[in-house]
Structure 1
Amino acid sequence: MSARGFIIGAARSGSGKTSVTIGLMRALRRRGLSVRGAKSGPDYIDPGFHEAATGLAGVNLDSWAMRPALLDGFAAEISRDADLVILESAMGLFDGIRSETGRSGSAADLARRYRLPVVLVLDVSGQSQTAAAIAKGFACYDPEVRIAGVVLNRVGSERHRAYAAEAIEELGLPVVGSILRNPDMALPERHLGLVQASEHAGLEAFIERLANVMEASIDLDTVTSLAAPFDLSAGETEVAIDPPGQRIALASDTAFTFLYPHLARQWRRAGAEILPFSPLADEGPDMSCDVCWLPGGYPELHAGRIAQAVDFKALTARFAASKPVHGECGGFMVLGEILEDAAGERHAMLGLLGHSTSFAQRRMNLGYRQARLRLDCAIGRKGETVRGHEFHYARVVEPGGDAPLADIADGLGNVLGTSGGRRGNVTGTFFHAIARS
């Protein structure tokens, strides 16, 4: 099967591109197309909505964190079993970091690399003809990134639509749809972005409503005709992060959800078995496993329940006495002594590492990271550099006395110091691993 594809881009976050993307995916699936979703950059949440809308697993395509061969391999995977690939941009279309050519992390990198056209979603609330100036800027900014069509979002009236659309079309850019202001299209959010698909009440009905809006507002035939060939069947996928064990105990519930889909998929493909357990249900890791992994998520919203999970604490401590336990971000917080929630209440965590964290004393940490590992651990070998990112509001308020896990730099290579902790078989860090550098 030879897929075709296009990118949904925008000028900024909050333009409505996720709602447009999800609705388009479902509307085109209704037409009998096999649709696959992809997301540029480091985003756990949107691929879950893509999967819910299409019935097929989504994937991240991160041009900074993933080496070109790995990027091409994932692109090849989704092109092999789909009629249409819709790739959603993170933030603005050109937003990334200054890096070597083609590795900024932006969706524009993917547009250039795979020669995919862009359907630009413009939030035209509070403007009319000025939308044409923005569209022209996108069309002229990079000659290697082709803006193939425009969708007007948050249109106030037919007159409003006409002013904006006519000005844009005079530039030679087709306006392929216009969507009226509709507060019911908004996806619920919390501090790390959208509420996850698995937590969204009435998700299926919501996606169906979005699809109805897209069918009524967008020329689906024209949008489909804009798609370009996306046939990468020759690509081969290298391994992003080796499986940390043959049998992996994975904390998995509404407090622990942020594991990149490509990691779990590749680990299973390599022959590893993943055994989920729920700390919120007071479950612990299966002792038959080789390693326990506590991913990120929202433990700060469930800190009281985690603190009272007696069996989870005892079984994880027993596991850690003889086998590796690794925690990322939220998992790292739970490995520590104390987690202070947003209300300032302190909750006793696992105590397998010596630090304490606070969500009451908030500070946003956001950005790409490069971690050079100081020892063999679940995410790599001693001396290896792993690329990933941080995105959290918690801060370490009591560092403890554990040795650091890694030396860390930002996406540009600026040294930030050390990261995480290690004690015996236990390791953890706020850093989320995406792929080996």
Structure 2
Amino acid sequence: MSHEGLKGLLIGAPRSGSGKTTVTLGLLAALARRGVAVRAAKSGPDYIDPAFHAAATGRPGLNLDSWAMPPDLVGHLVAEAGEDGDLLVVEGAMGLFDGVPAAPGRTGAGADIAARLGLPVLLVLDVSGQSQTAAAVARGFATHDPAVRIGGVLLNRVGSERHIRLVRDAMAPLGLPVVGAIPRDATLALPERHLGLVQAGEHPDLDARLDALAAMAERHLDLDAILTLATPLPLKNTPPRGLLPPPGQRIALARDAAFSFVYAHALAHWRRAGAEILPFSPLADEAPDPSADVCWLPGGYPELHGGALAGANAFKAGLARFAQTRPVHGECGGYMVLGEGLVDADGSRHAMAGLLALETSFAKRKMNLGYREARLLSDTPIGPAGSQVRGHEFHYATVLARGADDPLADLKDSQGASLGASGSRRGRVTGAFFHAIAAVG
């Protein structure tokens, strides 16, 4: 595609498990191999899919979230994506219209992003166990919300040529183009783990998997028809509200298999604002750079690396020295590592950094999931005291003890119901299970 401005489409489905991620990755990989400058985004809070998107496209992943981000921030991030992309493919979450009860356009649903940006929806229908009924489902989606336009339909898990023909014939009166049909093929599935999918960086054969998905897309999708569906995006790169300022000029950032959950829009903004990112690996027993102004421990999977982190004495000693004079903040997994100890799924306790009194356990898993609005109770690397920040929680840890540390924030859920005080702070060290996405704008 020649650079004529950014075009886009959104991949949605009636529910989770319809095959959106497989379809998205196949499409991204096939288009990237064609030489299309394709950017990908995930609707909603998710760290896993954007890492796969980045691997498939060779360009940074992105999140667009209609609940957590002020509307003009969504537009700003899309305009930035247009600086090095010709096509934006947004992958929805759950079902297309699934969100939280909130103001129209701010529910977190993929449909909000489609309506706000005028993106046509490529509807992925899992047609296993049905044929002509698929047309009734498509008709419902096409008429449900006048602000959301279904551009085309992609059939997933088809059983035979006859199956495809029955569905296509039933779709014909709707005027919705069927732009692909993917046969049932379990080998294309990506392995799952307790938190969404296994991380992109943990696939030794990721390139081979992406090649296989690209070949699947080339064989079963009408790529030219899909490119034709994409419509130009209205790009207005006005200075947005909501971007979280860099927590320091020089930011020591933990980055390895245990600490990988960082939002691309946050890092990009920190860099654009002139901050320098200084990555280090706790798993390699590296300490934060002593020249940094602040240390940030993101979320990830520390519970899978408890023994290595417990034995990382140079990391723990360097972190303790750092925390004597400068702020240290941990999000979710990073918060747990700042605590006294972490019990893994096998019941083994591993000594953590001991900078907060937190004790956590995965021996009895309990899912904590949802949007959160935090009012900060003190000055922190996320923002100043009294400021309000939107984000989310998604973890399976049980808190065994919080100790006498002061709380970090008062939390509300997506509908404004109080969840009480949360997180911990002691001296210059702060942490919470809350992942910050944007300031309230």
CA distance 1:234–1:315, shift in 2 (3 Å): closer
Residue 423 in structure 1 maps to residue 435 in structure 2? no
Q: 2:117·2:234 contact (CA, 8 Å) conserved in 1?
A: no
1:367 aligned to which of 366, 370, 373:
370
SS at match of 1:194: coil
Larger displacement relative to structure 2 (91-100 or 424-433): 91-100
> What letter matches 1:251 in structure 2?
A
Q: Which residue does 2:105 correspond to in 1?
A: 102
Go from structure 1 to structure 2 and tell me whether the alpha carbon gap of 1:434 and 1:234 turns closer, same or farther (over 3 Å shift). closer
Partner amino acid, structure 2, of 1:196: Q
Please point out which of 149, 154, 170 is paired with 2:152: 149
For 1:14-413, list aligned pairs within 5 A. 14-238=17-241, 240-413=243-416
What letter matches 1:391 in structure 2? F
Query: 2:93 aligns to what SS in structure 1?
Result: coil
Q: How far has the Cα of 1:105 moved from its partner?
A: 0.9
Distance 2:255 2:224 in 1: 40
Q: What is the identity, as a one-letter code, of the residue corresponding to 1:35?
A: V
After superposing the two structures, state which structure 1 stretch, 18-27 or 323-332, moved more: 18-27
Bigger Cα displacement from structure 2, 22-31 vs 255-264 = 22-31
Q: How many Å separate the matches in 1 of 2:100 and 2:259?
A: 29
Question: Greater shift after overlay, 349-358 or 51-60?
Answer: 51-60
| CA-to-aligned-CA distance 1:225-276 (integer Å, 9 cap, x gap) | 1111114044434561111111111111100000111111110111111111
**1:123–1:154: 8 Å Cα contact kept in structure 2?**
yes
1:284-332 alpha-carbon deviations (Å, 9 max, x no partner): 1111111111100000000111111111111111111111110000011
Cα distance in 2 for partners of 1:236, 1:186 equals: 40
One-letter identity of the residue aligned with 2:346: A
Amino acid paired to 1:432 = H
1:30 offset after TM fit, Å? 2.6
- State TM-score, norm by structure 2: 0.97
Q: Is the 8 A contact 2:357 2:403 kept in 1?
A: yes
SS of corresponding position for 2:318: helix
Q: CA deviation at 1:133?
A: 1.9
After TM superposition, the structure 1 stretch with the greater mean CA deviation from structure 2, 305-314 or 160-169, is 160-169
Determine the C-alpha separation between the residues in 2 that align with 1:352 and 1:57: 33
Give 2:187's aligned amino acid: D
Identity of aligned residues (%): 63
Question: Structure 1: which 5+ runs fail to align?
Answer: none
Q: Hey, what's the Cα distance between the residues in 1 that align with 2:350 and 2:85?
A: 47
Quick check: 1:2–1:231 contact (8 Å CA) kept in 2? no
What is the CA–CA distance in structure 2 between the aligned matches of 1:298 and 1:374, rounded to whole Å? Answer: 27
CA distance in 1, matches of 2:322, 2:251: 12
Given that 2:69 and 2:242 are in contact with CA atoms closer than 8 Å, whether structure 1 keeps it comes out as no
Residue type of the partner of 1:284? A
TM-score normalised according to structure 1 size: 0.98
Aligned partners of 1:321 and 1:33: how far apart in 2?
49
Q: Return the offset for 1:205.
A: 1.6
Please list, as runs of the form range in 1=range in 2, the aligned pairs for 1:5-20 lying within 5 A after superposition.
5-20=8-23
Deviation per residue, 1:131-170 (Å, 9 max, x gap): 2221111111111111111000111111222222222223
Provide the secondary structure at the position in 2 that maps to 1:244: coil
How big is the shift at 1:38? 1.1
CA distance in 1, matches of 2:304, 2:14: 32
> CA offset at residue 399 of structure 1?
2.0
Deviation at 1:174, TM superposition (A): 1.6
Q: Which one-letter code corresponds to 2:116 in the other structure?
A: R
* SS, match of residue 354 in structure 1: coil
SS at match of 1:57: coil
Distance 1:32 1:255 in 2: 33
Letter in 2 for 1:428: G
Structure 1's consecutive aligned runs of 4 or more residues displaced over 3 angstroms after TM superposition are 233-239
Native 8 Å contact 1:76 1:236 kept in 2: no
